[in-house]
Amino acid sequence: MLKLAIMGAMEEEIEPLLANFSDIKVTEFANNKYYEVKFNDIEIVIAYSKIGKVFASLTAATLIEKFGCNKLLFSGVAGAINPSLKIGDLIVATKLCQHDLDITAFGHPFGYVPGGNVFIEADNTLIQLAKDVALEQNIDLLDGIIATGDQFVANEERKNWIGSTFNADALEMEGASVAVVCNALNVPFLILRSISDSADMDAGFSFDEFLKSSANRSASFIIEILKRIK
């Protein structure tokens, strides 16, 4: 039986999702709140992790191990690297990497640790479902590489380095850690992001200004996926 997890990093990213439900059961666990709802007979657990890779890993693992979720969708915002991405545009990750993981001193590439991989691939079936939704809704949806790190990037040089090193299209602070957890526990996952800033010197201002509208756009798209998910 399908039991679906939906994650965001911040309250602002899950509030527009929770607004679609009235009968909500709240469970407090590990200094966080988990919201249990139903949608078309699908059991869903929604949570925001707090910002960063550690909190995202904890929340993803809790959703899977404690609540028994067997698919995971992540809804949130990201900074653009690919110049074709504008504020409010949607991107779904084909694969993800950790741009701040660095043991190159031992001869390894950026983003790699022994026993791991530089990139974790998202679930192809869920990616195709997202593309089908975008086509039906006449929404532009880019698929590409998302880079994750424990830093809010507001620097043109750093942004360009991440883009050239990992061929990344967007960057954020949680996706790759969620991908690592889901990959290790054999849980199909989808990382959907709406662009809130351009990860340059104006990123702080852009993020504050467009966080709510971009989060709403990502959440609305997730609801459309829920209508079609099997």
Q: Which residues pair with 79 in a beta bridge?
A: 171, 197
Q: Active-site positions?
A: 13, 197
Helices (H), the chain: 11-18, 53-65, 124-137, 156-166, 175-184, 203-226
Residues 127 and 188 sit within 8 Å (Cβ to Cβ):
no
Residues 62 and 34 sit within 8 Å (Cβ to Cβ):
yes
- Evaluated on CA atoms 83, 89, 95, 96, the torsion sign reads positive
Residues 150 and 172 sit within 8 Å (Cβ to Cβ):
no
